[in-house]
Structures are given as structure tokens and as C-alpha cells.
Amino acid sequence: MKIASMILLFFLPISSQKGMNSTALLQKMYARYHGKWHSSLSFNQTTERYKNDSLVKSDTWYERIAYPDMLRIDIGSKESDRGLIFRKDSTYVFNNNKITRALKNENELIFFLGGLYFVPFDDVLTHFKALHYDLSKFHTSTWKGKPVYVIGADQDDEKVNQLWIDQDKLVPVRFLKYEDNSKEEGLFEDLIALKNAWSETKCEFYINDKLLQVERYHDVVPGGSLDKSIFDPVRIGK
């Protein structure tokens, strides 16, 4: 074998890892963080919106998460009269302290980025399948120079829903979603340690490879007590 070929073989990511697959990886993640992940997360973020790669708008969002499935975003101030509530499989938009839109739409990032550790493991597998991840598919790769596991795909360029997991920290660093002839991509970066878990502090989102939004977190507080009524759309404006 030529020396150049040997070098390539040494540095190329292996396509699989002995004893590892998507289900086994989720079990490994669950074993590490179940009962240890922070039950809530609060922060504010600088939110930049882009069109044709140009910045068109910037806001400050105040976000509070209660795992496994609730997120409230207040836009402009912590007690704003406009924002969004994500609750289980529904999304509520409010403006001038009134619900202006309600729709069946889950924010699956709450599940990926912590919520999965607060439900029984069988429900984790069921939920991934409901989100159209093929758990029979799996491979290893690299992302930004670091080794990752990939749930839901057998190779990097496969056009299927997939979640990329940092092999050391066992947390998501990237997702790809294909739906209705559209490609959605999200990146989770600048991870910080929070007690027994982690949080991304920078996110980038792309639609069909065009930059849509960049988020940068500030004043991240894990595990604080939250009044659950803030996630109740009925209480908006009261």
C-alpha cells in the first residue's frame, strides 16, 4: 500500500463503531444525563435575522425553558407583551398581550437539547421515530475537526433527518432536516459547562443553505425555579 493511501485511511472517519448504533448512542446519552440535566434554563440572546446573507433585523429575546417540553420567548424585554410560547406539540404567538395565533407545531429543539432526559427512555425512541429519524441508520464522522456520531443517516451527504452528536460531551452540535423539498440546518456551538450538563451559547440556522438566523446567549442560568404559569397561553395578558 502506498504511504499516501495509508495516511488517508488513518485519518478518515470510520463508518461505524463496534457495538454502537443510533439506539445504543441514545442509551449512552440518556445514561449520562438522565437525572443530572438541569430542569430549567433561562437566558437572554441577541437574535440576528438574515436575508440573502445580509443582516436585516436584530432583537434581544428573553428565553425560559422548563423541560421536557416548554419554552417561552419574550421579545424586547423579559416581561414583553409580544413573543412565543412552545408547549408540548403546540406553538402560540402573542402580541399586545393577546394570543394572535395558535398552531400544532412542536419545537423539537427543546427535545434534542435537554427534554429527552426527562421522559422514559422508550418514549425517547418513539419520539425520534415520530420526528422521522431512522434509528436503523448510524455512522461516525467529524465536524469542525472533532469526532461526532450521526443519528439517522448512514453517510454525511444522505438527504434524511439526522442529528450530529459530539463524541466526547454526548450533546448535539448539528441537525439536518429534510421536509417538503426543503433543507433545514442548525448548528449548536460555543458550549459551556453547567453543573453536570452543557449548554450551547451560539446557534446558527439555515434554510436551503442560506443563513436565516444567528443566536448568541447571555446570562445563562441553569436549574432556577420557574413559575410554570408563564407557559400557559390562557394567562397571557393577565
Given this model, what pLDDT does residue 3 score?
Answer: 43
Q: Is residue 90 included in any domain, yes or no? A: no
Given this model, what pLDDT does residue 237 score?
Answer: 79
For 59, the enclosing helix (H) or strand (E) is: strand 54-66
Given this model, what pLDDT does residue 53 score?
Answer: 87
Given this model, what pLDDT does residue 17 score?
Answer: 57
For 124, the enclosing helix (H) or strand (E) is: helix 121-130
Q: Is residue 220 included in any domain, yes or no? A: yes
By C-alpha distance, which of 202, 210, 201 is closest to 183?
Answer: 210
Q: What is the dihedral of CA 77, 54, 190, 194, to 10 degrees?
A: 20
By C-alpha distance, which of 133, 129, 135, 127 is closest to 110?
Answer: 127
Given this model, what pLDDT does residue 88 score?
Answer: 95
Q: Is residue 188 included in any domain, yes or no? A: yes
For residue 14, give the DSSP letter. P
Q: Is residue 2 included in any domain, yes or no? A: no
For 95, the enclosing helix (H) or strand (E) is: strand 90-95
Q: Is residue 94 included in any domain, yes or no? A: no
Given this model, what pLDDT does residue 18 score?
Answer: 66
By C-alpha distance, which of 66, 34, 80 is closest to 222?
Answer: 66
Q: List, run by run, the mean pLDDT of 10-residue segments along the chain (238 residues).
A: 39 54 98 97 98 95 98 94 96 96 96 98 98 98 98 97 98 97 97 96 98 98 92 89
Given this model, what pLDDT does residue 72 score?
Answer: 97
Domain boundaries, position 28: 15-39+46-60+120-235
By C-alpha distance, which of 113, 11, 127 is closest to 67?
Answer: 113
Q: Is residue 179 included in any domain, yes or no? A: yes
By C-alpha distance, which of 199, 131, 194 is closest to 163?
Answer: 131
Query: What is the tally of structural domains in the chain?
Result: 1
Given this model, what pLDDT does residue 199 score?
Answer: 98
Which distant-in-sequence residues (6+ apart) come within 8 Å of 130 by Cβ? none
Q: Is residue 83 included in any domain, yes or no? A: no
